[in-house]
Amino acid sequence: MDRDRDQEGRARSARPRDGLGRPLPYGAAGVARQPEGVAREPAETVREAQRLLDAGMPFHAHEVFEDAWKSGPGAERDLWQGLAQLAVGLTHAARGNAAGGARLLRRGAGRIEEYAARGPEAAEAYGIDCAGLAGWARGLAGRVEAGGAGVPDAAADAPRLLRAGP
């Protein structure tokens, strides 16, 4: 069977996906995919990712963060990669993959903490709550590993990306 290909000839699955990015059967109604390679302003990246997280679509939020790390300044790469890892960690946890979800949540928390500790002002300028996100990620990682709370709900357990106002 031939592989699905995009317009440039790269292998790309054309199968529809659900809100957690899981492939559905061909012909099923799925969730629209995020366009790839979109260069957004940082505030737009955060707004779009938060909208997707709030809608229970962390897999899609991860793709928005991925665009930011690929198109943004190299000095901000760890910030955007760390945020993408948090979104993918939530995705895996919500799919029932506790070990993989916890590992990615902790990895993302560490990356954004290291980024913030180096002193880059981008997270501060964009209003991203690195400390709060790291705490959320470690807390969720502990919960999913403990197993007693069940599988997280991607929307209800989604993080808040921005610091709370005064």
Domain count, the chain: 1
Q: Please report the pLDDT score of residue 13 as a whole number.
A: 66
CB < 8 Å & 24+ apart, contacts of 33-41: 33/60, 33/63, 34/60, 34/63, 34/64, 34/67, 36/63, 36/67, 37/67, 37/70, 37/71, 38/64, 38/67, 38/71, 39/67, 39/71, 40/64, 40/67, 40/68, 40/71
Residue type, 93: A
Q: Please report the pLDDT score of residue 3 as a whole number.
A: 65
- As a whole number of angstroms, the distance between CA 3 and CA 135 comes to 41
- For the stretch 70-90, pLDDT in tens is 998 888 999 999 999 999 999
The whole domain housing 90 covers 42-146
Q: Does 14 reside within a domain?
A: no
Q: CATH code at 129?
A: 1.10.3450
Residue type, 32: A
Q: Does 151 reside within a domain?
A: no
> Which portions of the chain are predicted below pLDDT 50?
none
Residue type, 42: P
CA 98 vs. chain centroid, Å, equals: 16
Q: Please report the pLDDT score of residue 14 as a whole number.
A: 74
Phi-psi map region of 150: left, alpha, beta (phi>0 left; psi -120 to 50 alpha): left
Q: Does 3 reside within a domain?
A: no
Q: Please report the pLDDT score of residue 4 as a whole number.
A: 66
Cα 158–Cα 162–Cα 166 angle in degrees, nearest 5: 125
Q: In terms of C-beta density within 10 A (0-12 exposed, 13-18 middle, 19 or more buried), how is residue 123 classed?
A: buried
Q: Does 17 reside within a domain?
A: no
Q: Does 36 reside within a domain?
A: no
Q: Does 81 reside within a domain?
A: yes
Q: Does 95 reside within a domain?
A: yes
Q: Does 4 reside within a domain?
A: no
Q: Please report the pLDDT score of residue 119 as a whole number.
A: 75
